A and B are shown apart, each in its own frame.
Chain A
């Protein structure tokens, strides 16, 4: 099993000492961080030594908006950097998983439709990489700055990430003669789910129209990975060992940690 965690740490160096505990407690193999401005990757790696495992950072480049740390040795290679994403290939038994990490620009002050272009460009790159790597096992994870129900998330012209497994398992649909492949978005089951401690990964309640809890941090998968995804292990983390990363109002403690909460999920690897 491969345990993957994404966290937008809001450029807060005080988060770093928590990472070894977070990774140990959740048996994390792949840690993806965004907003690490001013924090040296070498420092993060040194702290990750406290896990007792050997982590490496996969080909960090100037301008990267996400960084991927992992304990998988040579099983993971970065294959591409775009403006808002990085792409990695994971050797998975006889096949390859394409793992795409994203941090899209914030739309708090912008309309959602503009992000559609970036989504469209990222998807075009992903289609090309899937063809090159001969895989349909693609995962996109990161801070989309969109909710699962946002137009650009759902639209065939955007990420085409839908809520219905059965429909997604049809793999694609045709619109005006052109085929659009689906992603399946498991985040719908966590957004607003009052059985959990938190209702999203990001709290924002300022504008007149407010969703209050947003699910900006998401993972979406190609339908071919549905049977390899542990839905019961997907989790928004609000405690790291004995430390709550929420404030007294039960919202993300942005002062001490980050305004985003970490998202964890697990994949079953092939033999």
Chain B
């Protein structure tokens, strides 16, 4: 039977530029930088919907977690990527730690994601802000030092 599919055998290059591919590349870099003391775990979950009461546009949530094997495999969710199963973009990012948290105790809306990205450029820019922030560096150093001693 002839191969009727429109693609050849898939490999790592095929996910390059997709949100999940970019996250994987950053995870690899992270693990090299922390000397494998910490690692990244990405866990994607299907969101459960109440079909009668739901208009949230994303169906998948991917947690980007820092894992510390030396601390009983404790994990810290740095941010969550929301995506649609059938498309690469748009996506939304929600940080775990948020300056707006205090405010959010009073007014919080699901629509108010920290970042909404419609293409690779805006996604990389948002990711750069989260991964390069002082808060993120603090968390990494904190977990690294506790794992190291």
Contact = CB atoms under 8 A, between A and B. Distances in A.
Contacts of A105: 104-105, 108
B106 A106 contact: yes
A61 B50 contact: no
Contacts of B105: 35, 105-106
Interface stretch (B15-23, B72-80, B117-125): B72-80
Given A79-B74, A113-B54, A117-B110, A124 B138 contact: no
A123 B61 CA distance: 13
Interface size class of A (residues with CB under 8 A): 35 or more
Interface residues of B, number: 37
Interface stretch (A80-88, A197-205, A236-244, A245-253): A80-88
Of B73, B77, B102, the most chain A CB neighbours within 10 A belong to B77
B93 to A, nearest CB: 12
B13 interface: no
Interface string B49-77: 11001101000010100000001111111
Contacts of B135: 62-63
Contact of A80 (B54, B74, B80, B142): B74
Interface stretch (B1-9, B30-38, B40-48): B40-48
A95 interface: no
B76 A61 contact: yes
Contacts, number: 92
B72 A110 contact: no
A83 B77 contact: yes
Contact of B72 (A79, A113, A125, A151): A79
B98 A78 contact: no
Interface string B71-101: 1111111001000000000000010111001
Given A113-B50, A113-B53, A157-B50, A80 B75 contact: yes
A155 B139 contact: no
Contact of B45 (A59, A114, A121, A151): A121
Nearest to B49: A157
B107 A81 contact: no
Contacts of A123: 48
B47 A120 contact: yes
Of B48, B49, B106, the most chain A CB neighbours within 10 A belong to B48
B129 interface: no
B14 interface: no
Interface of A: 35, 37, 59, 61-63, 65, 77-83, 89, 105-110, 113-114, 116-117, 120-121, 123-125, 128, 151, 155, 157-158
27 contacts: A37-B102, A61-B139, A62-B142, A63-B101, A63-B139, A81-B74, A81-B76, A82-B63, A83-B80, A83-B94, A105-B104, A105-B105, A106-B104, A106-B105, A107-B108, A109-B106, A113-B53, A114-B109, A116-B54, A117-B56, A120-B48, A120-B49, A121-B61, A125-B63, A128-B43, A151-B53, A157-B50
